[in-house]
Amino acid sequence: MQIIEGRNPVIEALRAGRPISKILVDRNVQLHGAAAQILQSAKSRGVMVELVDKQTIDRQSVTGSSQGVIAFASAKDYVSLDDLFSLSREKWEPALYLVLDGIEDPHNLGAILRTAEATGVHGVVIRERRAVGLTPAAVKASAGAVEYVPVAKVTNISQAIITLKKYNIWVTGIDMAGGQDYSQVDFNLPTAIVIGGEGKGLSDLARKRCDSIASIPMKGKISSLNASVAAAVVMYEVLRQRALKKA
């Protein structure tokens, strides 16, 4: 069972058909806009809704920012790498994956998933150990994107990169020490983008497995970007290049 908190995440869970056993709504919440949409959608799906006091919501909240809405849902399933490959074939697009080499902040993971959904990423690969998974905080930060972006959890990122390359995926790591500007990478090829962990960057093994290492130019005094921001910059460059090719 997984707790989903926040109005948009609950709306998207309902819209995506995630099995939900019950939704708690603060009885003092104004029942219009997103709150009204939740009630209507829950009713149409036969999901039980309880109007409760704020203290009940607060006791159940994991993130501390539920916006007065909490849903109890089946846990979001992880997928396999093979599932990601199948999805790319179904889309008839060059593969596009994001590989996260040790992201530990759930807010960063949620933000990355949100941008991945917006830019058409086919799937995200995360590490099983020493990395954050699909926690309530990550789900909330994704604003519902977790319902639409498949996430594969692997025991070894460097081995996952080897598997990607066997499927003819071009793997590009993003690191401030990269010798190539990220905008010069040809992202029209089947691509996997590797983003390192907060403060640590790419692990040595992951770096060695990548086909190339690219950097994001920095003109200010700060030497690096937040992991989710760096991922967003590159994902939108992929979107730009692929849109130009279609034009």
CA dihedral in degrees (22, 13, 145, 102; nearest 10)?
Answer: 40
CA-CA distance, 227 to 42, in Å (whole number)?
A: 35
Ramachandran angles phi, psi of 110, nearest 5°? -60, -45
Question: Could you read off the pLDDT of 153-167 as tens digits, one per residue?
Answer: 999 999 999 999 999
Task: Indicate if 58 and 87 belong to the same structural domain.
Answer: no
Task: Indicate if 88 and 49 belong to the same structural domain.
Answer: no
Q: Which of 43, 73, 103 is the last residue of a domain?
A: 73
Task: Indicate if 127 and 221 belong to the same structural domain.
Answer: yes
Task: Indicate if 8 and 123 belong to the same structural domain.
Answer: no
Question: Any residues with CB less than 8 A from the CB of 195 and at least 6 apart, and which?
Answer: 98, 99, 100, 101, 103, 112, 174, 227, 230, 231, 234
Domains of the chain: total: 2
Task: Indicate if 113 and 194 belong to the same structural domain.
Answer: yes
Task: Indicate if 47 and 124 belong to the same structural domain.
Answer: no
| 109: confidence class by pLDDT, cuts 50, 70, 90 | very high
Question: Could you read off the pLDDT of 19-38 as tens digits, one per residue?
Answer: 999 999 998 888 788 889 99
Q: Which of 19, 39, 73 is the last residue of a domain?
A: 73
Task: Indicate if 66 and 87 belong to the same structural domain.
Answer: no
Task: Indicate if 53 and 87 belong to the same structural domain.
Answer: no
Task: Indicate if 99 and 194 belong to the same structural domain.
Answer: yes
Q: Residue 129 maps to which CATH number?
A: 3.40.1280.10
Percent of the chain scoring above 70 in pLDDT: 99
Task: Indicate if 58 and 86 belong to the same structural domain.
Answer: no
Task: Indicate if 130 and 24 belong to the same structural domain.
Answer: no
Four-residue CA torsion sign, 77, 74, 149, 106: negative
Number of Cβ atoms within 10 Å of the Cβ of 135: 16
Ramachandran angles phi, psi of 87, nearest 5°? -60, -45
Task: Indicate if 235 and 145 belong to the same structural domain.
Answer: yes
Token pair of 57 as six digits: 């919501």
CA-CA distance, 235 to 31, in Å (whole number)?
A: 37
Alpha-helical (H) ranges within the chain are: 7-15, 34-45, 54-60, 81-91, 106-119, 136-141, 157-166, 204-209, 227-246
Q: Residue 31 maps to which CATH number?
A: 3.30.1330.30
Ramachandran angles phi, psi of 67, nearest 5°? 60, 25
Q: Which of 47-56, 110-119, 217-226 has the lowest mean pLDDT?
A: 217-226
Work out the mean pLDDT of the chain and round it to a whole number.
91
Model pTM? Answer: 0.88
Q: Which of 52, 73, 94 is the last residue of a domain?
A: 73
Parent domain of 206: 81-246
Mean pLDDT of 54-62: 91
